[in-house]
Amino acid sequence: MFFVISAVCLELKRGIVNVVELRDISCEKQNRQLFSDLNLVVNKGELVLLRGENGAGKTSLLRILVGLSQPQDGSVLFCGDVLDSSDDVIRSLIYVGHKPGNNPTLSALTNLKFWAAQRQLDVNNSTILETLEHLQLEGLEDSPTRFLSAGQQRRVALARLWLQIDAKLWVLDEPFTALDVKTVEMLSQHIGEFVSNGGAVIMTSHQAATIKCPQREFTLEYCW
């Protein structure tokens, strides 16, 4: 479950530019301190590239940011308020993790229908099928996702970014993994357009990609 608040954030609280803010966050995993007293703000209309060596805690930080994990200390604010267990803000945030997060026994179409229904999105089958075609998955709509390649499974997961047009924040963990060059370019353009239209993105990536939008880097140092 995501722990978030207010579906539209009252249009980012009528002027608040901070979409999400991490205050004095600390995280410990397997008796190792990944980071402590970490502060980070992701603003409306910007892309934050989260950098760091493997094991530095990038995925752990993203999971804390969307409420899938709890920090050892500190707090997470979404649109100026502390995250809680309200279901409403699910519509304001899209999280695509390092793993695609598809049900392997269900088809691409059914996976996306279920995801849209969870969020109470007004998305019909035709829209989903058009999105899958756009992502070069035409003809694979009814195949269980376990039979798809890694890149195809990733594209099914990323289809969410095209289906939910009212999201305020995208949290993406290695979104370019297993994608071909054409799809990387398509996704890069889509991210750039989302940010340029006022959306906020925080993402990790080991792959080089040209994304045309305001952006900055935030680096996590590996703690031995």
Residue 128 domain flag: yes
pLDDT (0 to 100) of residue 1: 29
Structural domain of residue 80, as residue ranges? 9-220
Does residue 198 belong to any structural domain of this protein?
A: yes
Laid out side by side, the sheet with 73-78 consists of 32-43, 18-29, 73-78, 81-82
Q: How many domains does the chain have?
A: 1
Does 73 map to a domain? yes
Position 1 in a domain: no
**pLDDT tens per residue across span 151-209:** 999 999 999 999 998 899 999 999 999 999 999 999 999 999 999 999 999 999 987 67
Q: State the amino acid at position 29 in one-letter form.
A: K
Mind listing the pLDDT tens digit for each residue in 25-71?
999 988 889 999 999 999 999 999 999 998 899 999 999 998 889 99
Question: What does R_g of the chain's alpha carbons equal in angstroms?
Answer: 17
pTM of the model as a whole: 0.89
For residue 115, give the CATH number of its domain. 3.40.50.300
Query: How many Å is the maximal CA-CA distance in the chain?
Result: 51
Long-range contacts of 83-86 (CB under 8 A, 24+ apart): 83/3, 83/4, 83/5, 84/3, 84/4, 84/5, 85/1, 85/3, 86/4, 86/5, 86/6
Residue 94 in domain: yes
